[in-house]
Structure formats: C-alpha cells, structure tokens
Amino acid sequence: MTNSSHSSDTANHYRISRKTIHHHSYTMKVIARITLLLLAAILPATASAAIKTLASYPEIEKYIGPGHTPKGPSQIQFMKEPGMYLALSADGKRIVKHDCRTGKEVETLLDITHTRETTVDKIEGFMIDDAATRILIYNNSRPIYRHSFEATYYVYEIRSRILKPLSDRFERQQAPQFSPNGRIVAFAAEDGNIHLKKLDFWVEINVTEDGKKNSIINGIPDWVYQEEFSTQSSMAWSPDSETLCFLKYNETDVPTYSFPLYEGSCNPMQQYGLYPGAFTYKYPVAGQPNSVVTLHSYDVDTRKTKPIAIKDPQLHYIPRITFAHSSDRLMVVTLNRAQTRMEVYAVNPKSTVSKSVLVEEWKAWLAPETFENISFEPDHFVVISSRTGYMHLYQYSYAGALQRTITSGNYDVDAYYGYDAATGAYYYRSDATSPLDRTVYRLDRKGKQEAISPAEGTASARFSPDLGYYVMSYSNSTTPTQYTFCSSRQSKPLRTLEDNAEYTSSYASAPKPEFFTMPTEGGITLNGYIIKPTGFSASKRYPVIMVQYSGPGSQQVTNSWSMGCEKYFATQGYVVVCVDGRGTGGRGREFMDVVYKRLGYYETIDQIAAARYAANLPYTDPDRIAIYGWSFGGYESIMAASHPDAPYAAAVAVAPVTDWRYYDSIYTERYMLTPQENEGGYDQASTFAGITTRKCPLLLIHGTADDNVHLYNTIQYEAEAQAQGRWTDMLLFPNMNHSINGCNSRQLVYARILSYLESNLR
C-alpha cells in the first residue's frame, strides 16, 4: 500500500487487451450493489449551498496540477564501461554517450532519424547490454497494474544501425532482460510465458508453454507480489549466459476479483457505451490462498527446464532471486507467510543443491528493507537487519558467517548502495542526524563515517556499477529538489544537472512548514509540522485540517520538499497540521511495533492527541477541525473520526480500507496475521465498529477501478452505515484507479474536499 496522495501513476485507466472481460454473477452483484447504494449515498452536503465547481478554485492547478513537482534530469544510465553514462535527449530521439567527469558528449549511439530497416517516432526508455553492442528501446507503453507496464520493444545494433522489433509474435512485451553476453533477450508476453530472442540468428523460442491467464504466470510476479514486494520481474540470468532461472506463479486457487468498467469521459472506452464490462484478476485478501510459487532453471543449450526444490517447510513467499557473481550461485530469498522469518539460500542451478546461508527473524514483521536491500558482492553479501531494534548493515560470507557489523547506533539505515572494493568504502543512507533527515554516507575501511550529502534535509543517490560516480538528489522543507553529478573521489559535485531555479522562483511565496514535537500518552514524543495560512494573523482563529497517512513504517513529517494539497489548503485559509504517530518510521522498532496485530488503535490515540494539540494553539478554532487521509490515511481518518472522544467537525477519506479482511494478503498479514489467527484484532481494527459513535459528517472518495483498495471497501461501509440508519457523503471517479490521477480528476478530488469543508467547518 502506497501513500497515493503523494504519488503518480503512468496511467489510471484499464485497457482490456490483457484482461479477461467476464460477465458472471459476482460482477453483476457488485454492479447492482453499487447502483443501489449510490442512489442513496450521493447526497449534497447542504441543499441550499451555492454550487461549487473546479473553476471556484483557480489556484488549484498550481499546487495539484501536472507542473507542481520539480523537474528531474533526463534519463541517465551508467554504463559498465568505467566513467561513462548514457542519456536520452530531451526530444526522445537520441541516446548519447557522455563522459562522467566532464559531462561532455562522447558519441551518439542511437539516432532514430538514422536507423535502418525500422523507424520509430520516439524513445520512451532504453537499456544497453554490458558489451555496449546492442540497445533495447521501447515505446507504445501501457500499464498493466499500478507498477508494471508492457510496451513495444526494439533491438538496435549499434554497429550496423539496424533497428528491429524484438518480437514477431507479440505486439508488446514485458520486463525484457539482456543475457550478460548480450546475445539473447528474455522477455515475458501476454500469454503468461517466457520467450527468448536469440539475436545472432534472430530466432524466437519459448522457454515455457503452460502460461494461462488467471492461472499460470511465468517470470512475472502476480498482482500482490508486484504491489507489496516492489518487484516487476522474476527472471535471472547466470553470468555465463547459459542458464535462465525464473519463478512460476500458480494462481489457480487464488480467489478472483472483478469490478465494473464504464464508458467514462476521461479517455472513454466506447465499447461500454450501453453496458458496462468488467475487469477480472486474481486478488488474495487476508487469510485466502496465495499463488503457489516455484523456482525453475532453463538450460539455453539443451532447452530443458527443471524445477529447483527449496526444502524449507516455512517457505511461502520468494520475493527475490538473483545470481551472485557466479553461475553456480543463485541467491534465493524466502519468507514465511507471517513475514516474521526470512531465509537466504545459495543454490546451484545445475545440480539444484541449495544451502541456507542466513536466517533472519523478528518478533513482529520483518521490515521490507530487510529482504529488498540485500546486496550480493563477489565475496560477501550485506543485509539490513533490525535485530538490535534499529536497522543496520551486516556483512556475511557465502558460507553464512557474520564478518562485520558495518553500522550501529540508535538510528536506522534505510538504503544500502554498495561496497567499493577498490577503496574499501561502503555507501548507504540513514537518519543518524534526525528522524526527519536522510543523509548519504561513506564509511571507509578504517570505520570512519563521512556524510557526502548535506546533513540536514533529504538526499538519495544512484551509483555507477563501480561506485566511482553517482547522481545525488537533495531537498529540504524550503528547497525544491536539486540534482548533482558527483565523483566518489571528490568532495564537491562535478556539476549541477538540474537546480530547478525557475520552479523555485515560481513557488517562492508558497506556504512553508514549521516543525514541532508534541507528547502523546506515556510521555512519548511525536514529530509534526504546521503550515500556517497565507496572510496569517496571530490574532485570528483559523479552521484546521489534520492531514496524515499513519501507515506502518511510513513518514510524512520529513525535512524534504513537498508541493501538494497541504500547501494548497493553507492558501485557502486553513491551518494544516500533520503528526506522525506511533507505528510510523524513522524511530526504531519499539516505536513501530506497538501497532502489530492491532492496526488503528495507537494510530487513533495519537491522531486525536494531535488534534487536541492543534485545538489548543492560540490561533486555531477548536470547533472547526477536520481530518483527511488517503489509502491507509483514509482508513485512519474514519477510525479517528469514529472514536467517542473525537474532536472533529468533519472527516474525509480517499480510497480507504474499511475492513482489513478486504485488503491484500501480503500487506495485511504482515501487520495483522491472518483473520483466522487474529479474529479479535480484525474486529477491533474494522471501521464498521465505530459507525454509531462517529459524530461528524464523513466524505468518502474512491475510484471505481481501484485495483489496490477496492471500491468494495467504500460501498460496504456505506451499506453498514445505512443498516444502522446513517449515511455518508460520497464522490466516485469512473474508471480511475487508486491514485485518481488523470484528466482533471486529482484537482477535482481536492476541490470537492475544500467545498465539503467549507460547508462543515463554518
């Protein structure tokens, strides 16, 4: 689950070419229920109020529209060749080789106006093989789920300038990978199978044959893996290019979910002009069957595939596979279903013999950073572990022996960039200076830690393969994101890639956050920020909007640049307050783990404490306080508003989970276990339990094509409310997904929120 109020997607409409259109009884029930409930649920907040439209909020485009985020540099890819990188030209027509030290163009490797055999209009993205003889480019992309896409790929031979479509059989391909020798491309297609393109002979062959929609997927993660394990490919080439290892997802027993598709008006789907269609896919909710995932290896020469059995009775998930610099050492990361135990195996894909080299356990859930950030070096690997209560770096041999505790202290390391064997330096990011900051560090062979980004603010880095160069991004609460090109051997940046000077000037007068701390129960201190309204006067009393996300491990209160609804609310005369309660990140495991198996309890206590803190400020009106959130934040908005002691005059929930039994297995069970194991916890965490105690009006906003948090959550909450003689206010966005971002939909979300608060915070 992502904080979608601060994220964007490549698209927000479902195309049907890859999906099963399925008119079955379940879908018709959903459509019928939505139709009946919406007739009753969509009611005006006040019948006599003047009609508000998007035009009533002329400044909203500046804060919510397409240009509200800082620009980034053009696509940059470091090459295997030391000291060189590739960049895509601004017009999307050329791929140019640059010198890292000087930034000067060395040569143009691809110009689409001078290719042979095939022509394309524009390059959306690209990748180059290790030998720098071929380039894969793509265009014509379209989304599959929120974090994955398919596109038409082309292979470009640099020497001959010949450009050809990657596949003769499939219009679009997914997740292609060059073999290390650059002579083969493995890719997945809409048939659920893995295919190879042997580039020397231009021959296309199948690796698998059993792919079937909503049944068997080869080499590509299923929906829930993509959403919660942040992975888009499950294929790995051996360094000698002789073996392709992959995961097979058997989702036959995973329950099917469907939601209706309408014609709509934002990129309309005319095939549904008279009757709605349906989008059907496999979605495991908490406690229901997940895909059965198995590991396989394919021999390129013999064209034979064999299964690799991992003898782990607790194995349920395989979030990652990768080769560790040796063709006989495939690293396989496994998790139990509760995600409290990770085991790492070294597997010989030829013999299929596996050896456990690491077991990591925690009394609550394992932080995703633990299994997502393992770095496999030629003679060791590094893992992020919270075994001391804070996340730190540990180095192991491939025999499983702990070689070194790299970092320690009462702070968290949240990203590991790698080990420079030439200098003996480690590169990573941590919040050592403050939970609000993220600083990039270098630790030398003598154990001396040095910050290579400003100590105050939020930085991140992307390194070259040899760690000799990196692109640094940096911002703070008053400075929009800046990008610099740096050398690991020099203390100062080599040059600025993007300073966002024009953007900075445009938003110079935007409201700024002020950080503060406040106590909650037990003397625990919480971090927060306040944004005062434009034209602030200390003698006035202002309405307050409490904004929050509150999800486990998340952070909203950070010393980083953000431009969005919070600052826009402040321009409209509101005091905006945000507080990260218990369960959020950057404060160690003790602070985070209190929410384990009881989501919504401590978060609600802390949000109410934050609202009371805001109510006691000399310039706020305690009778005009609202709470707002999106996704998990929407869930917490409802939970807080439903508490008997809630001080809110209104609440807004966008795309909320309303009962954790309705949300996906991996995310929900990580924090709650299964409903079968924790029935009481699920009951207490349900928003339905507080319907009769909620004293303030509630606005629910949802996209009808939300594949992540289904509209079912909102509809069922309304149904439960009606059963108890109550109702909510509601706004639906046809065919929009979890981010509600397309045409003018995002601006409409916040215009409706403001009009709602204007009616209820009078």
Paired tokens of 700: 């629910």
Nearest CA to 9 among 154, 127, 141? 141
pLDDT in tens, 189-223: 999 999 999 999 999 999 999 999 999 999 999 99
**Which residue in this structure is represented by tokens 């045409």?**
743
Residue pair 203/303 in contact by the 8 Å Cβ criterion? no
Q: Which pLDDT score is estimated for 5?
A: 43
Paired tokens of 311: 């003898």
pLDDT in tens, 247-291: 999 999 999 999 999 999 998 999 999 999 999 999 999 999 999
**Does residue 211 lie within any of the structural domains?**
no
DSSP assignments along 346-375, one per residue: EE-TTT--EEEEEEEE-SSPPPHHHHH--E
Average pLDDT on 482-498 reads 95
Element (H, E) at 610: helix 601-615
Indicate whether 23 pLDDT > 90. Answer: no
pTM comes to 0.93
pLDDT in tens, 674-728: 999 999 999 999 999 999 999 999 999 999 999 999 999 999 999 999 999 999 9
Confidence of residue 336 (pLDDT cuts 50, 70, 90): very high
**Does residue 666 lie within any of the structural domains?**
yes
Q: What percent of the chain has pLDDT over 70?
A: 94
Helix 632-641 × helix 601-615 angle, to 10°: 70
Residue pair 756/637 in contact by the 8 Å Cβ criterion? no
Distance CA 205, CA 301 (A): 12
Indicate whether 48 pLDDT > 70. Answer: no
* Domain CATH code at residue 756: 3.40.50.1820
pLDDT in tens, 714-731: 999 999 999 999 999 999
Is the pLDDT higher at 523 or at 611? 611
Nearest CA to 124 among 79, 172, 182, 161? 172
Indicate whether 551 pLDDT > 60. Answer: yes
Indicate whether 21 pLDDT > 60. Answer: no
**Does residue 690 lie within any of the structural domains?**
yes
Distance CA 654, CA 758 (A): 18
Contacts of 730 (CB under 8 A, 6+ apart): 38, 41, 42, 699, 700, 701, 702, 714, 718
Distance CA 587, CA 153 (A): 44
Tell me the torsion sign for CA atoms 121, 127, 128, 129: negative
Q: Which pLDDT score is estimated for 311?
A: 86
Nearest CA to 621 among 642, 596, 598, 650? 650
Distance CA 481, CA 71 (A): 8
Element (H, E) at 245: strand 243-250
Indicate whether 42 pLDDT > 70. Answer: no
**Does residue 119 lie within any of the structural domains?**
no
Distance CA 523, CA 159 (A): 68
**Does residue 390 lie within any of the structural domains?**
no
Neighbours of 460 (CB within 10 A): 18
**Does residue 680 lie within any of the structural domains?**
yes
Is the pLDDT higher at 69 or at 24? 69
pLDDT in tens, 65-92: 888 999 999 889 999 999 999 999 999 9
Indicate whether 480 pLDDT > 80. Answer: yes
Q: Which pLDDT score is estimated for 39?
A: 44
Residue 1's identity, in one-letter code, is: M
Residue pair 718/728 in contact by the 8 Å Cβ criterion? yes
Residue pair 440/462 in contact by the 8 Å Cβ criterion? no
Paired tokens of 513: 């956050």
Domain around 621: 532-760
Distance CA 630, CA 565 (A): 11
Q: Which pLDDT score is estimated for 47?
A: 44
Average pLDDT on 553-575 reads 97
Paired tokens of 301: 């020469």
Paired tokens of 137: 């480019």
Element (H, E) at 345: strand 341-347
**Does residue 270 lie within any of the structural domains?**
no
Distance CA 155, CA 174 (A): 14
Confidence of residue 313 (pLDDT cuts 50, 70, 90): confident
Average pLDDT, the chain: 93
Q: Which pLDDT score is estimated for 74?
A: 82
pLDDT in tens, 368-423: 999 999 999 999 999 999 999 999 999 999 999 999 999 999 999 999 999 999 99
Conformational region of residue 613, where left means phi above 0, alpha means psi within -120 to 50, and beta covers everything else: alpha
Indicate whether 14 pLDDT > 80. Answer: no
Distance CA 242, CA 238 (A): 6
Average pLDDT on 567-594 reads 98
Paired tokens of 204: 């296309």
State the total domains in the chain.
Answer: 1
DSSP assignments along 284-326, one per residue: PBTTSPPPEEEEEEEETTTTEEEEE----TT--EEEEEEE-SS
**Does residue 149 lie within any of the structural domains?**
no
Q: Which pLDDT score is estimated for 1?
A: 75
